[in-house]
Amino acid sequence: MLSALELEGRGWKMQPTSRRLSRDIADGMDELGVLLAGHAKNAYWFGSQLSIAEARRHLRFANATTVQVVAGALAATVWAIRHPRAGLVEPEHMDHRECLAIAGPYLGKLTGEFTDWTPLQGRGELFPETLDVDSPWQLQNIRGRQWIA
């Protein structure tokens, strides 16, 4: 979020230099999942934790994020092939167990954890923002264009 706000704060001008990371990534892990937030226990994250080493066991020059995203696309494609008469369906109408059986070998560790993180953490440090500090999960605290000109 802070990166997006920084980009917006620069008037949507990209940084003068950039580079694509591929083989440069030598170590580490990517976490890709869903954050269910704003309930009595604050927030719950469920997702995949995949190391770069594990990702490269599947695809030599891939990164963990690519493997995680493609695993979902692969599962959806196989599901569609196996269920040709189902037509167009929303993801929640697909059999999640069947899809996870297909994607699972590419996702690394699947885990879920409650967290005390909120969208307010680290906010307002780069430039002033209009935030609702009394209700952290309000859309006002999540959406872009928070900075004060």
Rounded distance between C-alpha atoms, residue 20 and residue 23, angstroms: 9
* pLDDT recorded at residue 146: 57
Residue 132 near residue 138, CB atoms below 8 Å: yes
User: What size, in residues, is the chain?
Assistant: 149
- pLDDT mean for each 10 residues of the chain (149 residues): 78 82 78 93 96 92 92 96 95 94 96 94 83 91 68
Distances in Å between the Cα of 70 and the Cα atoms of 18, 118, 138 are 24, 29, 32
C-alpha Rg value of the chain to the nearest Å: 19
